[in-house]
């Protein structure tokens, strides 16, 4: 939610709220399962994850599995630890430093390694619990970052087959639409994104993504309206929406003002997107 050096990956905001899992079984003699102790450790791991304390979250997640190796949510939690590490890597590369050349390529190695680890842990979660919709959705989010869009579509569709086990069905449907967008199916993408907005009106990420569909189809006025809705909302700090607002004005033959470009850049002044916004306005 996108060559390696020219493409700008789109990381969806809802990604940082996901939970994930890990294959980590204790060696030696098998222990008796203790689901209560496992869940206690899992709740500690969730708290650490919410606070961004990834090492502590992983440690508690592993302990949860030590008490119950069939705790699917613990596998899912641990998977998110690696997914967040991948997203942090992305932020360091594209937002905080806007790395280029060999420096950027070096960080991509770790980014891809974290994604592979996360996917294996989400996969373990659904192996333990085949109806765990959120873990399928998490695998779909990883597949988008790996640019495997057909696989992402399959995983999101499977996740939506278990709606009661989803944290946010509207976000999952939005992610399905985003995967369809990236594989070039604009009609299906628009359908899913509109449905997502019916479930959760005003959702920032779905509004932005619908704007991207219109932009790709050169429906400039519709695209403009969606990007304006996002950029006017202080609760939607999506820098890419500001960039596409500038690009839409240009496509319509009415270049954006310098103030519009600076609003874009101000969200993350050192980012690659900020540099693009500045370059598009004289």
Give the pLDDT confidence score for residue 198 in this predicted structure.
97
**Given this model, what pLDDT does residue 31 score?**
64
Cα 89–184–248 angle (5° rounding)?
75
In terms of DSSP H, where are the helices of 146-238? 149-160, 169-182, 186-199, 204-216, 220-231
What whole-number distance in Å separates Cα of residue 117 and Cα of residue 33?
25
Question: What does the domain layout of the chain look like in residue ranges?
Answer: 13-201, 214-282
pLDDT one-digit tens code per residue, 27-37: 344 567 999 99
Q: Which CATH class is domain 13-201?
A: mainly alpha
Q: Report CA torsion sign: 220, 225, 227, 228.
A: positive
Is 177 in contact with 212 (CB distance < 8 Å)? Answer: no
Calpha distance 182→147 (Å, rounded): 8
- In the prediction, which pLDDT does 109 show? 94
Looking at the chain, the number of H-run helices and the number of E-run strands are: 13, 0
Dihedral angle of Cα 239, 135, 188, 11, to the nearest 10 degrees: 10
Residues of the chain with pLDDT under 50: 1-10, 12-29
pTM metric for this prediction? 0.86
pLDDT score of 9: 47
Residue carrying structure tokens 């932005």: 208
pLDDT digits (tens, 9 = 90+) for 86-116: 999 999 999 988 988 998 989 999 999 999 9
DSSP code of residue 219:
-
Phi-psi region of 281 (alpha: psi -120 to 50; beta: other; left: phi over 0): beta
Angle at 270 between CA 182 and CA 222, to 5 degrees: 40
The closest alpha carbon to 119, from 158, 160, 89, 152, belongs to: 152
Residue among 202, 222, 272 nearest 243 (CA):
272
pLDDT of amino acid 21: 35
Contact 213, 190 (CB under 8 A): yes
The two tokens of residue 214 are 């219109």
Quote the pLDDT of residue 28. Answer: 40
**What are the CB-based long-range contacts (under 8 Å, 24+) for 109-115?**
111/86, 112/146, 114/82, 114/83, 114/85, 114/86, 114/89, 115/82, 115/83, 115/86, 115/142, 115/145, 115/146
């Amino acid at each position: 939610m996108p060559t390696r050096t020219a493409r700008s990956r789109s990381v969806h905001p809802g990604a940082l709220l996901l939970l994930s899992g890990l294959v980590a079984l204790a060696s030696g003699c098998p222990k008796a399962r203790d689901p209560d102790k496992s869940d206690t450790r899992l709740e500690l791991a969730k708290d650490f994850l919410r606070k961004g304390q990834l090492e502590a979250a992983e440690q508690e997640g592993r302990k949860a599995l030590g008490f119950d190796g069939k705790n699917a949510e613990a596998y899912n939690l641990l998977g998110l630890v690696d997914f967040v590490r991948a997203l942090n890597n992305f932020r360091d590369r594209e937002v905080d430093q806007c790395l280029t050349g060999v420096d950027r390529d070096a960080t991509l190695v770790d980014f891809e390694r974290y994604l592979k680890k996360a996917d294996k842990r989400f996969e373990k979660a659904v192996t333990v619990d085949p109806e765990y919709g959120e873990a399928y959705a998490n695998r779909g989010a990883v597949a988008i970052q790996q640019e495997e869009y057909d696989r992402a579509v399959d995983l999101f569709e499977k996740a939506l087959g278990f709606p009661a086990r989803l944290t946010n069905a509207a976000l999952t449907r939005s992610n399905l639409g985003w995967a369809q967008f990236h594989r070039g199916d604009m009609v299906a993408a628009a359908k899913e994104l509109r449905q997502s907005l019916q479930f959760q009106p005003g959702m920032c990420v779905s509004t932005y993504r619908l704007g991207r569909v219109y932009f790709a189809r050169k429906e400039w006025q519709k695209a403009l309206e969606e990007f304006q809705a996002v950029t006017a909302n202080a609760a939607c700090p999506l820098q890419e929406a500001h960039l596409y607002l500038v690009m839409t004005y240009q496509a319509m033959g009415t270049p954006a003002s310098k103030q519009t470009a600076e609003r874009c850049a101000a969200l993350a002044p050192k980012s690659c997107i900020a540099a693009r916004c500045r370059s598009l306005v004289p």
